[in-house]
Structure 1
Amino acid sequence: MGTYLVTGMGRGIGHELARVLLRRGDRVIGTVRDEAGIAPEWAAFLASGQLRLVMLDVRDAASIGKAAAQIDEPIDVLVNNAGIIGPHRQSTLDMDFEGFLETLDVNTLGPLRIVQAFLPHLRRSKAPRIVTISSRMGSLSHAKSDRIAYRASKAAVNKVMQALATDLQGEGIVAISVHPGWVRTDMGGSGADISVEESAEGLIKLIDRVTLAESGLFFDWTGTQISF
């Protein structure tokens, strides 16, 4: 069993990933922005020490640094899950530019801030992995223009993760991007293709088996490599 850091554990995919990992016996360090993200169902895991919650905002380097300083143990898997869909107006012809900047700040810069802060913890693991929840909507092979701020932020974070994989290859640290599917969550909506349970199960199977030879690649939740 390993130790997982999961950002944005308060809801959606992060919540389900943590639930599955805890039930199978892994240790989870989950991040939330405030105490409202702490569900009553976590009480027993918190009491046993199997789960630890830390407060941080991926837009705030100081809060991330403070959280990282509170943790003194190896982290085997860092899951960059926290993200936002972006502003209501995000067309190339009608853009909320402040909202676009916030989307990039959360979805692209946030994961890099997290990796840099927790890299010392990953370096203490025997098999460290960085897994960033991205989206096929960011693939340059999909010439669609809806939700362009979100799409652009995910295309950008894919490139950041590819570069991280290159820079960390010599240290044996895996870094991949993953499309979790169109998932029935608050973000994905009730009409999405798959359940959060199906997505989380597939993601964990991929995380368990991914190797250094696959570092820098982009996968979907079934473990299939997809195009950037």
Structure 2
Amino acid sequence: MKILVTGANRGLGYALSKAAVLRGHTVLACARNEDQLKDLIEQYPNQVHPLELDVTDEKSVAVAAAKASEKWESIDVIINNAGALYERDAKIEDLDFSLLERTMNVNLYGPMRVVKHFLPLLFKGTDQTIINISSDAGSITTAYGGDYPYAISKTALNMFTKQIKHYVSNKNINVYAIHPGWIKTDMGGERAPGSPDDTANNLIDIVEKKKIIDEDLFFIKHDGESMKI
């Protein structure tokens, strides 16, 4: 499979890229600067192909999609992993709306831009899947008073995921918003109990159709279990 991963230079994106190539897949590794992908490229020069892509810049996404289409006729998987977390402990009375806007630009508009420009390539692929990395913070059922920018952006991302699932429903493409768990990354912190490698391997299992997931589900945990919307 040819798997596109945004935010591939660190954290879960890095773990996803490694998990995919170790199973024999080709990875279109996306980051804002190709130099950020140097380690992946050096380790897996024949399987990792860098794409400079800034999810907050539509022109950047469009150019990356054009470059990908010049080299490949199709892709099979889109994993929208790039994310931002600002104002984690801010009270609503103190919220910096410029950081809310920045969060939406990365966490919601970013995946929307990627799907917009890479969907034509995905339509030509096989056993296709779109994964948007979401969070339990995006659940309306279990909403709590905090993480306003992050939680709201992930709730909106879940809505977009459901819309795209409906849009491609006649093309046999799996579409999921996935809670990766609390994992040790720059975003998750050192106290996180989970491993990005474990989550990455579970996500690749989903991509490879090794997990049986009810076709009506779209918001799930990385192990395939249903999440409360």
Cα deviation, 1:136-194, whole Å, max 9, x if unaligned, reads 11100113122111000000000001011111111222211000000111100001121
- The runs of 5 or more residues in structure 1 that have no matched partner are none
- 2:32 aligned partner: 33
- 2:8 aligned partner: 9
Q: Which runs of 4+ in 1 moved over 3 A?
A: 87-90, 210-213
Q: CA deviation at 1:37?
A: 1.3
How do residues 50-65 of structure 1 correspond to structure 2 at under 5 angstroms?
Answer: 50-65=47-62
Is contact 1:175–1:215 with CA below 8 Å preserved after alignment? no
Q: CA deviation at 1:39?
A: 3.3
- 1:126 aligned partner: 126
Q: CA deviation at 1:32?
A: 0.6
Q: What secondary structure is seen at the aligned counterpart in 2 of 1:130?
A: strand
Q: CA deviation at 1:92?
A: 1.7
Q: How many residues align?
A: 225
- 2:218 aligned partner: 217
AA at the equivalent of 1:58: V
Distance 2:106 2:216 in 1: 23
Is contact 1:176–1:215 with CA below 8 Å preserved after alignment? no
AA at the equivalent of 2:203: L
Distance 2:119 2:161 in 1: 14
Is contact 1:175–1:216 with CA below 8 Å preserved after alignment? no
TM-score by length of 1: 0.93
Distance 2:117 2:92 in 1: 34
Distance 1:204 1:162 in 2: 21
Distance 1:15 1:214 in 2: 28
- 2:138 aligned partner: 138
TM-score by length of 2: 0.93
Of the three residues 64, 68, 72, the one matched with 1:71 is 68
Is contact 1:89–1:96 with CA below 8 Å preserved after alignment? no
Q: CA deviation at 1:78?
A: 0.4
Q: What secondary structure is seen at the aligned counterpart in 2 of 1:93?
A: helix
Distance 2:178 2:154 in 1: 10
Is contact 2:86–2:103 with CA below 8 Å preserved after alignment? yes
**How many percent of aligned residue pairs carry the same amino acid?**
32
Q: CA deviation at 1:30?
A: 0.7
Q: What secondary structure is seen at the aligned counterpart in 1 of 2:150?
A: helix
How has the CA–CA distance of structure 1 residues 146 and 36 changed in structure 2, closer, same or farther, with 3 Å as cutoff?
Answer: farther
AA at the equivalent of 2:128: P
- The runs of 5 or more residues in structure 2 that have no matched partner are none
